């Protein structure tokens, strides 16, 4: 019987499967997020094995800048075809949950089948979602990337709030119902 790869390492193998690759060059690859939290949700990953943001050092500054430019070009190509008007943001989770450095590229509709929990919501809609610029700032000033585990984990438990009008919702079904209408405005 073929052995199944463990979920926590599958990103590192799945990113090299040709059928998963949407765009690549010698250094970077873009794949679809397997459990999308929005209508358009992609991951940009370096081909070099780098476990996490905490493994970055100043030698990776060029790579980080390249990842952002590469993802930006990818977004522009999507926008010019059939996703006109779609808004995106890109960034990292302060405390990533799976190995291999990955930068999220996500449209801000948050209408994905994978968006199920308060943690999911807050990981994209609080300071837990960290921009590429913030990562670069830390690398350039301190030579490393650090986010306090307790402080940032707490952000995942903050009240659910619509990212557009800031209305507070009591639970995920209520929030999802609200944002589906708020998005139309
Ligand atoms: P995080 O580590 O918190 O930045 O989130 C990891 C992201 O990777 C989640 O959005 C998952 O849905 C996604 N993910 C996990 N495994 C895979 C996989 N094998 N292929 C594509 N996306 C994945």
Fold type of domain 10-157: HIT family, subunit A (3.30.428)
Q: Of these residues, 102, 120, 146, 178, which one is catalytic?
A: 102
Task: From first to last of the 185 residues of the chain, give the pLDDT tens digit.
Answer: 444 556 556 999 999 999 999 999 999 999 999 999 999 999 999 999 999 999 999 999 999 999 999 999 999 888 877 666 788 999 999 999 999 999 999 999 999 999 999 999 999 999 999 999 999 999 999 999 999 999 999 999 999 999 999 999 999 999 999 988 886 55
The predicted structure's pLDDT at residue 3: 46
Query: Which ligand 1 atom is at minimum distance from the Cα of 36?
Result: 12
Query: Is residue 40 annotated as a catalytic residue, yes or no?
Result: no
The predicted structure's pLDDT at residue 1: 42
Query: Which ligand 1 atom is at minimum distance from the Cα of 97?
Result: 2
As a dihedral over the C-alpha atoms of residue 100, residue 40, residue 134, residue 161, rounded to 10 degrees, the angle is -120
Residue 126 in tokens: 């609080």
Instruction: Output phi, psi for 79, to 5 deg.
Output: -65, -35
70: helix, strand or coil: helix
- Report the alpha-carbon angle 14-106-64, nearest 5: 70
The predicted structure's pLDDT at residue 86: 83
The predicted structure's pLDDT at residue 7: 57
Give distance in angstroms: CA of 170 to centre of ligand 1.
Answer: 26
The predicted structure's pLDDT at residue 20: 97
Length of the chain (residues)? 185
User: How far, CA to CA in Å, does 26 sit from each of 75, 100, 139, 164?
Assistant: 19, 17, 23, 38
> Interhelix angle for 118-125 vs 172-182, to 10°?
50
The residue whose C-alpha atom lies closest to atom 13 belonging to ligand 1 is 33
């Amino acid at each position: 019987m073929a052995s199944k790869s463990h979920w926590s390492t599958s990103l590192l193998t799945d990113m090299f499967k040709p059928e998963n690759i949407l765009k690549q060059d010698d250094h970077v690859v873009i794949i679809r997020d397997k459990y999308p939290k929005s209508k358009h949700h992609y991951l940009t990953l370096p081909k070099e094995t780098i476990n996490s943001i905490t493994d970055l050092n100043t030698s990776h500054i060029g790579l980080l800048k390249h990842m952002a430019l590469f993802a930006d070009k990818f977004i522009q190509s999507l926008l010019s075809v059939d996703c006109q008007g779609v808004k995106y943001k890109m960034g990292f989770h302060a405390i990533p949950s799976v190995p291999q450095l990955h930068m999220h590229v996500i449209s801000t509709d948050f209408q994905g089948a994978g968006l199920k929990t308060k943690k999911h919501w807050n990981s994209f809609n609080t300071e837990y979602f960290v921009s590429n610029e913030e990562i670069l700032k830390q690398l350039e000033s301190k030579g490393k990337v650090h986010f306090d585990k307790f402080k940032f984990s707490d952000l995942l438990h903050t009240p659910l709030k619509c990212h557009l009008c800031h209305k507070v919702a009591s639970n995920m079904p209520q929030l999802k119902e609200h944002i589906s209408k708020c998005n139309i405005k």
